[in-house]
Structure 1
C-alpha cells in the first residue's frame, strides 16, 4: 500500500510537541560520535542479520556486542531497551540525536509497509555512496590544498624574513628602488605589522559562517556562487543531484509514492537551488503535471535526467530509473573529481610560481644597481 507522509506527521504531533518542520530542515548528517561510515556498517549488518532470520532485537544485540567504543554500545543498547519496552525501531531512534529525521521516516515507512529489511539494505547503500562521494571530493582537493598551503607558507616566510633583509641592504646603500620592489616591500611591511590579525580574522569568519549557515539568504547566494565556478560548480551540482536520486531510489523502493518522496527529500537536501526547484516541482505535480514536465523548467536538472524520468513516468519504473540515474551520476562524479584534480594542480602551481617569481625579480632588480654603487 502507498504510505502517506502526512499521516506520520499528524501522529508525531499527537505524541510529541517536537517541531517536525524545524527538524526536517536539518542536513542529512550525524554527530561525530556516530558518523556516516558507522552508519553504513550499522545498516549493512542489520540487513544481513535480518536476512538470516534473526529477530530485530537479536540482530541489534549482536551489532551492539561488535562495537568497539562504549558510546556506540550504549547507543544501540538503548535502542534495544526501547524495543523491549514495546517501541518500534523508528520510534526508538527518533529520540537519539545521532540519527536523522530522514532515517526515522525511512524506517517508519519500512515498518508500515513490511519492507524494513529492504529499507535497512537501501540505507546501507545510501550511506556507502555518501561516503564514496566524500572520499572522492577529499581525494580531488587534498593534494591541491596541500600544495597551496605549502606555497602560501613559503610566500609568508619570504615576506616576513627574506624581503626585510633585502630592504635593509637597499636602505643602507641608498639604492633607488624599482616600482615593483617598492610594492613588494610595502606588502612586507604591512604583513609584519598586522600578521597577528590573521588568526582572529579566520576565527571570526568561522563563527560568522556558523551563525548564518542556516539563513536562507546565505544559502541562496553561496550556492549560486558555487554553481557559477568553473569545474567546481558542475561537480557540486552533480553531487547534490546524486544525493537526490539516491534518496528517491530508497523511498520508491519502500513503496512510497513519488510525491511523498519528493516532499520528504526536498527537506533533507541542504542545497538551496535543488530544494527550491523541488518545492516548485511538488506544486506542479499537485496541479496535475508529470514529474518530467515539471523538472524540465529548472536548470539544475539536466536534459539527460529529464529524458530518463520521462521514460519512468510512461513505464511506471521509477525505482529502476532513479537507481540507474544514481549509478550514472556517481560515475560522472568520480570522473569529474579526477579531472578537477588534474586541472587545479598545474593551475595552482602556475599562479604560485608567478607570485614567487615576482617577489624574486623585485628583490634582484635593485641588486644590479647595488653592484654598480659598490663598484
Structure 2
C-alpha cells in the first residue's frame, strides 16, 4: 500500500505533519479531510529503498537471538518461579537474584543478574528486560508492562508461563513432524553421495579392466559419478550458498512474503503451519486483551509474534480497519485471511464481552488440530519415505550390479 507524507492545518491554524497509508492519492485526501483539516501539502513517498533499514534490523535481531539463544524450557521455568515467588511476597530484585543464583544456563544466568542489577538501580522489570531483546521478546515485555500497570503482575506472569508452555508444546510437535522427513532426506543425500563418490568408481574400474561393454543405465550412472566426484566441493558450496541466500531473502519484506506463502500453500506441511499460527494468534490475543492491553497495541504485538509475513500483512490491514472504526471480527474478516471459526468466536466474544475466554477456546481448538495433523502426517509420511529411500537404493544397486549378469561374456572378452 502506498505511503503519503502530509502537512495539514486545523481551524486553529496549528500545523501537523506525518505519514499515512492509502490505496491512492484521492483516498489519502479523503482521510485527511474527514476532520475538516486543511491539506497544505500531500505527496507520495518513494519507498523503493525503505527495505534496507528493516532488513538490517532483521539481520541484527537474528544475530542477537542466535548469540543469546535461551532454551524455551528455561524461560518457562523462570517465569513460573518468578510468579510464585512474587505472589509469596518477595521483591522482584530478590526473586530474580535468587533465580539467577540457581540458574545453570550460563548466558541466561548473566542476563538475570543484569536484570536484577537494573531493578536495584531503579528501573522497572519491563524496562530491565527490554535491554535483552534476544531473550525477552516484545510480547513478554508488553505483558510484563501491563502487569506492572494493572498491579496483578503475578497473575500475568502465571498466564505468560502457561502461554509459553503451550507455545513450547506446539513448537515441539511441529518440529517432531518435520524432523523425520528432514532426517530421511539428509540420509538419502549422504547415501547417494557415498555411492557416487566411493562405491561406483570402484565398480567402474573393475568393469574397465574387464573391457566389458556396459549397459546404458550403468554408463549413465558412471558418468554421473565422475561428474559428482569432480564437482562435489562446488555442489556443497552451492547448497550452503543457496540456503544462506534463501535466509537473507527471507529477511526482506517481499522475499519473506513469497517464502511464507509457499509454506502456507505447500501440500503436506501448509495446513500444519497455518494451524500452529492460528493457535499462537488466538492464545496471544486472548492473553493481551484479558490483560487490558489496548486493541491497537495488541494488534501490533500480534504482528510481531506470528512469524509469518502473510499473516503479518493481514494483521497490519486489520489494524488499519480497526483504526477506521471497524470492530475486531469485521476487521479480520475483511482481510480474507482468517478462517470462519475464528471469526465467529471473535464476533461472539465481542457481543458477550468474553472475547479473551473465547479466543482461548479458539486456541484450544487449533491446538487439537495441530495434534491431529501431526499424528496423521506421522502415520502417512513415515512409510512413504521408507518406500522412497528403499526404491532409490534398489535402483542404484540394480544399475550398479547390472553388468554382473553379463559377467560371462565380459570374462570371455577379457581373456
For the pair 1:290 / 2:324, whether they are aligned, the reply is no
Quick one: which of 44, 59, 75 aligns to 2:111? 75
Show the counterpart of 1:8.
none
Give 1:129 deviation, angstroms.
1.7
> What is the CA distance between 1:332 and its match in structure 2?
1.5
Q: Distance in 2 between matches of 1:41 and 1:110?
A: 19
When structure 1 is superposed on structure 2, of 350-359 and 314-323 the one drifting more is 350-359
How far off its partner does 1:32 sit? Answer: 3.8
Of 65-74 and 179-188, more deviation after overlay is shown by: 65-74
Query: What SS does the corresponding residue of 1:270 show, helix, strand or coil?
Result: coil
Correspondence 1:317 to 2:364:
no
Residue 341 (structure 1) aligned with residue 378 (structure 2): yes
When residues 213 and 195 of structure 1 are mapped into structure 2, their CA distance, relative to the original with a 3 A threshold, is same
Change (3 A) 1:39 1:20: farther
Q: What is the alpha-carbon distance in structure 2 between the residues aligned to residue 147 and residue 67 of structure 1?
A: 37
Tell me the TM-score normalised to structure 1 length: 0.86
Q: Deviations over 1:58-87 (max 9, x none)?
A: 322322232124543432232222222222
Distance 1:35 1:317 in 2: 34
Structure 2 match to 1:45: 81
Partner of 2:174: 137
Question: Where does residue 123 of structure 2 map in the other structure?
Answer: 87
Give the SS at the match of 1:301: coil
Indicate how the Cα distance of structure 1 residues 325 and 21 shifts in structure 2: closer, same or farther if over 3 A, else same.
farther
Report the counterpart of residue 71 of structure 2 in structure 1.
35
Q: How many angstroms does 1:237 deviate by?
A: 0.9
The whole-number CA distance in structure 1 between the counterparts of 2:280 and 2:261 is: 18
| Maintained 8 Å contact 2:138/2:304 | no
Deviates more, 1:260-269 or 1:244-253: 260-269
The 1:75–1:165 alpha-carbon spacing in structure 2 relative to 1, beyond 3 Å, is: closer
**1:23 touches 1:101 (CA, 8 Å); kept in 2?**
no
**Which of 220, 223, 232 matches 2:260?**
223
Query: Highest CA radius of gyration, 1 or 2?
Result: 2
Contact 2:97 2:116 in 1 (8 A): yes
Q: How much does 1:147 deviate? A: 3.2
Q: In 1, distance between residues paired with 2:55 and 2:402?
A: 65
CA 1:83/1:374 → structure 2, altered by over 3 Å: closer, same or farther?
closer
The answer as to whether partners of 1:46 and 1:59 remain within 8 angstroms in 2 is yes
TM-score by length of 2: 0.78
Stretch moving more, 202-211 or 150-159: 202-211
- Aligned CA RMSD, in angstroms, stands at 2.7
Which residue of 1 is the match for residue 276 of structure 2?
239
**119-128 or 165-174, larger mean C-alpha shift:** 165-174
Matched position secondary structure for 1:87: coil
Conserved in 2, the CA contact under 8 Å of 1:136 and 1:334? yes
| Deviates further, 304-313 or 205-214 | 205-214
1:279 maps to which residue? 316
2:28 corresponds to: none
In structure 2, how many angstroms separate the alpha carbons of the residues matched to 1:24 and 1:174?
Answer: 60
Quote how far apart the aligned CAs of 1:192 are: 1.1
Distance 1:35 1:195, change over 3 A: same
Q: Does 1:164 align with 2:204?
A: no
User: How far 1:298 sits from its partner (Å)?
Assistant: 4.2
Q: Matches of 1:196 and 1:71 in 2, distance apart?
A: 36
Gap change, CA 1:82 and 1:179, over 3 Å in 2: same
Deviation at 1:240, TM superposition (A): 1.4
Matched residues in 1 for 2:280 and 2:66: separation?
16
Structure 1 CA distance, aligned partners of 2:343 and 2:160? Answer: 25
Distance 2:116 2:410 in 1: 86
Does 1:261 pair with 2:298?
A: yes
Conservation of the 8 A alpha-carbon contact between 1:79 and 1:93? yes
- 1:258-315 deviations in whole A, cap 9, x for unaligned? 3331122113332111101111111222233232223234454222212211211221
User: What number of residue pairs does the alignment pair up?
Assistant: 357
Question: Does the CA contact (< 8 Å) of 1:245 and 1:323 recur in 2?
Answer: yes
Which residue pairs with 1:332 in the alignment?
369
Question: Unmatched 5+ residue regions in structure 2?
Answer: 1-52
Preserved contact between residue 141 and residue 341 of structure 1 (Cα < 8 Å): no
CA distance in 1, matches of 2:287, 2:247: 31
**Per-residue deviation at 1:367?**
2.6
Report the CA distance between 1:331 and its aligned residue: 1.8
